[in-house]
Amino acid sequence: MKTKRMQLIIIILVIVVIVAICSSLAILPKGVQASSWWLAGGISPANVLVAYQPLLAADLAASYTNLANPGTNDAAPGLAPDWSSGDGWIFNGVDQYLSTGTISIDQNVTLIIRIADFNFSGYAYYSGASDGSASNNIYLGEYQTVPEEDIFRGAFGDATAEEDDDHIPSGILAINKNYLYKDGYSYISWGTVPGDFSFDLPVFIGAENDSSVPSNYANVKVLAYALYNIPLSDAQVLAITTAMNGIDDWGTETSTPSITNTPTFTRTPTSTETSTETYTPSFTPSDTATFTFTPSITDTPSFTPSLTPTIDTTLTTLTPTMDVTKVYDFYSAKADDNLFLIYLLGGICGLGLLGGIVTGVVWLVTRRGS
């Protein structure tokens, strides 16, 4: 009984260990973040105000989650944008926008956003907030002049910076008191250094919060977004940009734990135990067996023929017979032929050639008539 109890304890411990291992591994379905891209470049979690990733989120509701601090400053729809896993938030440029909830904004913040398929006319801001004064502003976007010329524009505190004839339909843009950044690198420097400022307002996405009223809506797709309470360095902006771009690469990957060590238990029965277990073997053939039978003949038959000759001892006596008539005819013919020759020769000798012939013919006629 002690052996059985010990084996049960071991099995329970192994199961607990396996469950713990599986729980600790990142088994990630599509839509769950595989890495904290918002912390790239060695950024402390304490410096992240919000981090949203609508690209490859599980659904629209999940895309609102503040990944840096879920439940705090989750994105809230003013009028909810459209959404798809592959495009993120899709704002119509008319009345759709999201809010970060109230955030303390000052001269130390950094805003970074990944956009795609930006299309607009007039004024359009991807994200921003302003309390209506000339000194308390933060926004990124574009506007058009007459005749139409697209101008990229950013405002930070009381400073603004612009780049003429530069429409940016897709990319990663960032703003802080150091620069306007485009795709990871400093793009525009401030004409005058932004002064200190501070205000508490929600920052809108897909539009600008102009004194708590949405304005300058943008027809744009937003794939990822983050706000920090420090001015990120150039290296950190580049690191975040690289990590944001990498969301497409890892967003659909999943991790499956692999357990390579399988515990083996050997049970040693004691003399006092009685086994009640039964075992029924199960065999499922996977192939059709083919049997070939070759007969083997080990005995070689032996045959010895036996022949006893039999002699017929009956004697048959043969009595020869002769047809005398046939013998006579033979010799008679021969005699006649010889006699003809005698007549012929005699005629020739006595009467000459003609006489011999006549004599022979007479003999023949005489013989044929007999």
For 114-139, letters b (16+ CB in 10 Å) and e give bbeebebeebbbbbbbbbeeeebbbb
Q: Given this model, what pLDDT does residue 282 score? A: 53
Residues 70 and 197 in one domain: yes
User: 103 has which bridge partners?
Assistant: 201
User: 50 has which bridge partners?
Assistant: 227
103 domain-assigned: yes
* Domain that residue 342 falls in: 330-370
Residues 343 and 242 in one domain: no
Q: Write the CB contacts of 97 (distance below 8 Å, at least 6 apart in sequence).
A: 77, 78, 79, 81, 91, 204, 205, 206, 207, 214, 217
Q: Given this model, what pLDDT does residue 247 score? A: 95
Q: Given this model, what pLDDT does residue 27 score? A: 34
Residues 339 and 241 in one domain: no
| pLDDT tens, position by position, 225-257 | 999 999 999 999 999 999 999 998 764 433 444
Residues 344 and 225 in one domain: no
Total domain count for the chain? 2
Residue 190 tokens read as 């401030």
CA distance 289 to 291: 6
Residues 340 and 212 in one domain: no
Model-wide pTM > 0.85: no
User: 12 has which bridge partners?
Assistant: none
CA distance 300 to 45: 96
Phi first, then psi: give them for residue 235, nearest 5 degrees.
-65, -40
Report which secondary-structure segment, H or E, holds 77.
strand 76-79
For 262-286, letters b (16+ CB in 10 Å) and e give eeeeeeeeeeeeeeeeeeeeeeeee
Residue carrying the six token digits 């599980």: 58
Residues 361 and 218 in one domain: no
* CATH number of residue 132's parent domain: 2.60.120.200
Residues 362 and 225 in one domain: no
Of 15-24, 119-128, 172-181, 340-349, the range with the highest mean pLDDT is 172-181
Residues 58 and 150 in one domain: yes
Q: Comparing 58-62, 162-166, 231-235, which segment has the lowest mean pLDDT? A: 162-166
Rounded (5°) CA angle 34-40-46: 100
Residue 211 tokens read as 């004194």
Residues 124 and 245 in one domain: yes
5 domain-assigned: no
Question: Confidence band (pLDDT; 50, 70, 90) for 35?
Answer: confident
Q: Quick check: 226 and 127 in contact, CB under 8 A?
A: no
| pLDDT tens, position by position, 263-284 | 454 555 454 444 455 545 454 5
34 domain-assigned: yes
Question: Confidence band (pLDDT; 50, 70, 90) for 368?
Answer: low
Residues 120 and 240 in one domain: yes
